[in-house]
Structure 1
Amino acid sequence: MHAPSTRKTLLALTLAAAFGGFAATAIRSGLDQPAHAETAAPAVLPGISALPTTVAGQPLPSLAPMLEKVTPAVVSVRTRQVVRVSPFGDDPFFRRMFPELTQQQLNQSLGSGVIVDAKNGYVLTNHHVIEGADDVTVILADGRTVKAEFVGSDPDTDVALMQIHADNLTAIPLADSDALRVGDFVVAVGNPFGLGQTVTSGIVSAVGRSNVPGVGFQNFIQTDASINPGNSGGALVNLNGQLVGINTASFNLQGSMAGNIGLGFAIPSDLASGVMQQLLANGGVVRRGTLGIETQDVDERIAKSLGLDVARGAAVTRVYPESAGKDAGLQPGDVIVAANGRHIDNGEMLRNFQGLQPANAKVTLDVRRDGKPLQLSATLREQPHELEGKDLDPRLAGASFAELPETARRSGVSGVLVSEVARGSRAERNGLRKGDIVLAASSGGFSDLPGFRASLGNEPQQLVLRVLRGGRPGTLPMR
C-alpha cells in the first residue's frame, strides 16, 4: 500500500478511536452520577460532532471496499457430533454389560472457515473446529447452506481442509506471510459466538511465536485484532484483501468470558497452504520430516563442559542408525544452535522446527563441535506415524504405537501413545489398553517413537513398561 493511503488509514483509525473514547466517557460519567429525588433543571448537553466526510479535501478512507471482496470467502462452520454417554464412563466391560444405560447425546459447535480455492471448493479451517464431527455444514456469506466433505487434517498444526460443492464461490488470494512485519495492519473476519460474520482490526504484534502453551507445532502470527470463540478457522487478511493467516486462538489466563485482551494468534498462510498441499497429495495426512536424533537443553554446566560461551542450543545425545542426522554427520556432543538460519535455543525449539518441515526437506544446521562452529546439510526423512507392536517385540503383539500429540508434549509428557489394542491379543493380556501412554521401559530410555523402536532393538530378556493411564502411572510386565 502507498504511503499517502497508509496515512489516510491511520488518520481514520485515530479519529475513530478518539470518537469511541469520547462516547464511552460521556456514557460512563452519566451512569456514575448519584440519583436525586427532587426535580432538577434540565441539563444542557454539549453537542457531539459527526465524523467528517472528507479530510484535506479527500474522502475518508475505509476498509469497506476491500471487505466487500473478502467477506464472501469467509464462511461459518457448524458441526454435529453424536456421542454415547454412560454412567460408567469409558469402561468397556460395564458398557457392554449395561447397554440400556448408555444414552446418545448431540454435541454442536460453531467455527469459521476460509474458501481458498473457488473452482474446487476447498475450505481451510482449524482441526479443533471439526475434530470428531459426524456432520459438518458450511453457511456461505450469502446465506446458502451446504454440506462439507472432510478432506484431511493435521492436529499438530491445527489445520483442516474441507470441500464444498456450490456455484459462484469466492476465494481469498494468499499472501506471502513471510513478508509480514510487526506493525502491519491486519483484519480478522469470522463468526464469533455464532453472532454472524464479524470484522475486527488491529496490527501484527509479533511473528514467529512458538511459545504458546497448550498448542502443537507453532509459528504463529500474533495480533491485537479481537479473535473470540467462533472466530477459529476464520481469515486474517492484509489491507490488500489477501490471506495472511488462519485465526486459531486467543490467549487469556482468565478464560474467554473475561473478554479479549489483545492476544490473538493465527497460523501463517504459507504454513497453512503447505499443510493443505500435503493433505491433498498424501490422502489427507501430513508426512513430517525428522533428523532422527535425541537432544537435551544446554545449561551452564553442559555449556562449560562443551566449551561454549553461551548456554544455548540443543545438545545431541543420541543419533539413530540410518537417520538423516547420521547421514549429515551429526555426532553425540554436537550442539545445534540454528536451523535454516533460525535460532535454536533448546530442544523444544528444534523439535518445533522439525515438526513444521515436510519429509525430504533440505535443512542447513549450524553446529558447535568441541566449541568450534560447523555447518552441516541434512535431508530430513519421514517420521513414522505408527508402529505395530509385533514388529517391535513379540510381547507387544496386537498393540499399535503412535507419536504423542504435540499438545501433550508441551504439557510436559514424554513417551509414546498406545493407539490401538486388538481384543484378545497378547498385548491386551499383558494389560495394555488403548490410550495408555508408555513413559519408559526396561529396554532403555526414549522420548519418541523412533527412540522406542531403537530401545527394543536387542529384544530385552525382561520387558517392563511404565504406563500413564487416566493421569495415574503404573508398571506393566510384558510376558
Structure 2
Amino acid sequence: MKQNIKLFIVALLGGFISLTLYNTLISPEKEQVNQTETQAVNHFPVYTNNSKLVAAESAVDFTTAAEATVNAVVHVTNTSVGVQQDPLAQLFFGQGYGGREYKKVGTGSGVLISPDGYIITNNHVIDNATDLEIVLNNKERYKAELIGTDKATDIALLKIDAQDLHYITFGDSDATKIGEWALAVGNPYNLTSTVTAGIISAKGRDLGGNNRIESYIQTDAAVNPGNSGGALVNTRGELIGINTAISSQTGSFVGYSFAVPSNIAKRVVEDLMENGMVKRAVLGVSIDAEKDVNGVYVSDVSKDTGADKAGIEKGDVITKVNNVAIHKFADLVGQLTAKRPGEEVIVTVDRDGSEKTLKVKLSEINDLITEAFGIQFGTLSDAHKKKLEVNGGLLVKKINNNDLQKLGIRPGYVILSINNINVDALSDVDKVKSMVKSSEKINKLVVVNLNGTKETFSRGW
C-alpha cells in the first residue's frame, strides 16, 4: 500500500515538473511565432501606400464623355475642282493652255454645337470646296451650307438642315490644367467615331510659321489626318478645343497634337453667326518679344487706343489679363483673340517693380492705323484678291521707308509675306513687329506690284 502511494506521488510530481517545463520553454516560443505571423499580415511600412485602394479612388471613367460626344462629331467630305496642267501645251501655246479640270475629294471632322445643325470645323478642311457633305454617326447624310470662315484662327462654321441632333456644349478652355485628361474625337483615315485619350501637355503653345492664333492647347491624345476639325473634350464631355494640327515629320501622329482653344473657337463662331466675319480686338500696344521679362514688354502704345486711355505706358510689363497669368506673347494673343472689340479687360502690369491694375476697353483692329517698318497697312477686299489672283496679303496704303521706296514699292502694292511670315490680316503685322524690331531686320519681302506681278526682295538691297 505504501509502495502504491509512493508511485502515485512520484507520478504526480513528474507531471507537475513536465507541465512547468512546457509552459516555461515551449509555449512562449509558439506564442511568439503566432504574434510574428499576425504582425506579418497586418503591418504596413510607413512609406508604402495601399496601391489598389489608390488606383480605385483615382480611376477615370472615359465612357461618359465618349458617349456624350461620339454622336455629335461628324464626318465632313469636301469636293473641290483642281486643274492638271499640260506642260507641253503651255510650252507651245502659253500659260493657261492645256489644263484639265478634275475633282478632288478631301475629308475631315466637324463638331455639332447646336441641336439645329450648326457645325464647327477647321477652315483648311473645307477650303476651296464646291460641295460639302456631312455624315452623322448614324450614317445619315446631309448637304452643308458654309456660313463663314476665319482663316486666321482656321475656324469655319457650317449648317445642315436638321433638328434634334446630338451636340456638344462649350467648356472653358482657360480653366483647363496641364496634366488634365482629354479625349480627341474624330474620323481619322475615314474611321468614323474614333475616340483617343491623353493628357493636356501644354497651353499657350506657339507653333511658329504662319500659325496666327499662337495659343494652342497641346495634347498627347492620338490625332491623325482626318481628325482635323474634330473635338477635344474633357472628362465631362465639354468641348475645350478643335483639333487642328499635329507635330510630325511623317504627316501622322508621333506624339503631340494641337487644338484651337474652345474660348477662341466660340468667340469666332459667334461673330460668324452674327456678322459673317470676325472682328478682332487689340489692346493698342506693340510688344518686344526679345525682352527677357516675366511677362510681355510694352515697347510702344498707340495713341487714342484703349491701352493709351487706360494709362498703359511704354516700358510696362504685362503680367496678367483678367487674372490669367501672361508669361509670353502667345499667352497675350490667346486672351485677346477670345475677346471682342468693346469688351473691357483687367490688365495687370509691372511698372518699375510696382504692380498696377488697369481696366482697358479693347479697340477694334480695323479702327487703328496699323503701321510698321515705315509702311501703313490696309486690308484687301475679296474682289481685289480675286483680281490679283491671291489668297491673302495686305495693301500698302502709305510708305515712309526710304529703303523700300528705292526698291520701287509704292502705295497700292500688296505685301504677301515678311521674313517668310504670311500677312493676311492686320493682326499679323503685330506678330511680325514682335519678331522684327526695325526695318533693318527685314530680310525678305514678297509683294505683288501694281501690274499684278509677284516680286521677291531679299536682304542686299
TM-score (norm 1): 0.63
Specify every segment of 5 or more residues in structure 1 that has no aligned partner in the other structure, as ranges. Answer: 14-60, 301-310, 404-415, 422-427, 440-445, 453-465
Tell me the residue number matched to 2:337: 355
1:1-23 CA-partner distances (Å, limit 9, x unpaired): xxx99955966x8xxxxxxxxxx
1:272-317 CA-partner distances (Å, limit 9, x unpaired): 222211211222x1111112222313636xxxxxxxxxx3443333
Tell me the residue number matched to 1:138: 134
Letter in 2 for 1:213: G
SS of the residue corresponding to residue 261 of structure 1 reads coil
Question: How much does 1:429 deviate?
Answer: 11
Tell me the residue number matched to 1:67: 66
Match of 1:271 among 256, 264, 267: 264
Matched, 1:111 2:108: yes
1:14-48 CA-partner distances (Å, limit 9, x unpaired): xxxxxxxxxxxxxxxxxxxxxxxxxxxxxxxxxxx
Separation of aligned partners in 1, 2:362 and 2:142: 40
Tell which deviates more after alignment, 286-295 or 327-336: 327-336
Runs of 4+ residues over 4 Å off in structure 1: 4-11, 85-88, 94-98, 346-349, 385-389, 428-435, 446-452
Counterpart contact for 2:296–2:319, Cα < 8 Å: yes
Counterpart contact for 1:234–1:247, Cα < 8 Å: yes
Letter in 2 for 1:294: S
Counterpart contact for 2:74–2:136, Cα < 8 Å: yes
Tell me the residue number matched to 1:228: 224
Matched ranges for 1:152-231 at <5 A: 152-206=148-202, 208-214=203-209, 215-231=211-227
Matched, 1:318 2:317: no
Separation of aligned partners in 2, 1:110 and 1:351: 30
Compared CA separation, residues 262 and 9, structure 1 to 2 (3 A): farther
Separation of aligned partners in 1, 2:94 and 2:411: 20
Compared CA separation, residues 347 and 402, structure 1 to 2 (3 A): farther
Letter in 2 for 1:151: I
Separation of aligned partners in 1, 2:428 and 2:244: 27
Tell me the residue number matched to 1:308: none
SS of the residue corresponding to residue 171 of structure 1 reads coil
Separation of aligned partners in 2, 1:387 and 1:83: 38
Counterpart contact for 1:288–1:356, Cα < 8 Å: no
Compared CA separation, residues 149 and 420, structure 1 to 2 (3 A): farther
Question: How much does 1:235 deviate?
Answer: 1.8
Tell me the residue number matched to 1:472: 456
Separation of aligned partners in 1, 2:247 and 2:295: 28
Compared CA separation, residues 118 and 347, structure 1 to 2 (3 A): closer
Tell me the residue number matched to 2:361: 379
Matched, 1:297 2:289: yes
SS of the residue corresponding to residue 244 of structure 2 reads strand
Tell me the residue number matched to 1:256: 251
Separation of aligned partners in 1, 2:308 and 2:370: 24
Matched, 1:82 2:78: no
Separation of aligned partners in 2, 1:234 and 1:340: 29
SS of the residue corresponding to residue 79 of structure 2 reads strand
SS of the residue corresponding to residue 359 of structure 1 reads coil
SS of the residue corresponding to residue 255 of structure 2 reads coil
Separation of aligned partners in 1, 2:53 and 2:279: 43
Question: How much does 1:117 deviate?
Answer: 0.4
Separation of aligned partners in 1, 2:169 and 2:412: 49
Separation of aligned partners in 2, 1:117 and 1:201: 24
Question: How much does 1:370 deviate?
Answer: 3.9
Tell me the residue number matched to 1:46: none
Counterpart contact for 1:387–1:401, Cα < 8 Å: no
Counterpart contact for 1:86–1:95, Cα < 8 Å: no
Counterpart contact for 1:386–1:401, Cα < 8 Å: no
Question: How much does 1:382 deviate?
Answer: 0.6
Tell me the residue number matched to 2:273: 280
Counterpart contact for 1:124–1:159, Cα < 8 Å: yes
Counterpart contact for 2:206–2:216, Cα < 8 Å: no
Separation of aligned partners in 1, 2:428 and 2:107: 34
Separation of aligned partners in 2, 1:318 and 1:185: 40
Matched, 1:340 2:335: no
1:329-388 CA-partner distances (Å, limit 9, x unpaired): 223333333322333345554344433322112122222334433222210111119999
Counterpart contact for 1:220–1:267, Cα < 8 Å: yes
Separation of aligned partners in 2, 1:95 and 1:109: 34
1:189-241 CA-partner distances (Å, limit 9, x unpaired): 211012333221223334x3322334321443332221111111112233333
Tell me the residue number matched to 2:416: 436
Letter in 2 for 1:78: T
Separation of aligned partners in 2, 1:353 and 1:213: 18
Letter in 1 for 2:207: V
Separation of aligned partners in 2, 1:178 and 1:451: 22
1:44-96 CA-partner distances (Å, limit 9, x unpaired): xxxxxxxxxxxxxxxxx772x653443221110011121345568xx9xx999
Matched ranges for 1:454-473 at <5 A: 467-469=445-447, 472-473=456-457
Counterpart contact for 1:149–1:164, Cα < 8 Å: yes
Letter in 2 for 1:436: L
Separation of aligned partners in 1, 2:284 and 2:359: 14
Over the matched positions of the two proteins, sequence identity in percent amounts to: 31
Tell which deviates more after alignment, 132-141 or 346-355: 346-355
Question: How much does 1:135 deviate?
Answer: 1.7
Compared CA separation, residues 467 and 447, structure 1 to 2 (3 A): farther
Compared CA separation, residues 107 and 240, structure 1 to 2 (3 A): same
Specify every segment of 5 or more residues in structure 2 that has no aligned partner in the other structure, as ranges. Answer: 1-51, 382-391, 398-407, 420-425, 433-443, 448-453
Counterpart contact for 1:75–1:190, Cα < 8 Å: yes
SS of the residue corresponding to residue 101 of structure 1 reads coil
C-alpha RMSD over aligned residues: 4.3
Larger Rg over CA atoms: 2
Separation of aligned partners in 2, 1:181 and 1:140: 31
Separation of aligned partners in 1, 2:427 and 2:235: 44
Separation of aligned partners in 1, 2:370 and 2:261: 35
Letter in 2 for 1:279: L
Compared CA separation, residues 79 and 100, structure 1 to 2 (3 A): same
TM-score (norm 2): 0.66
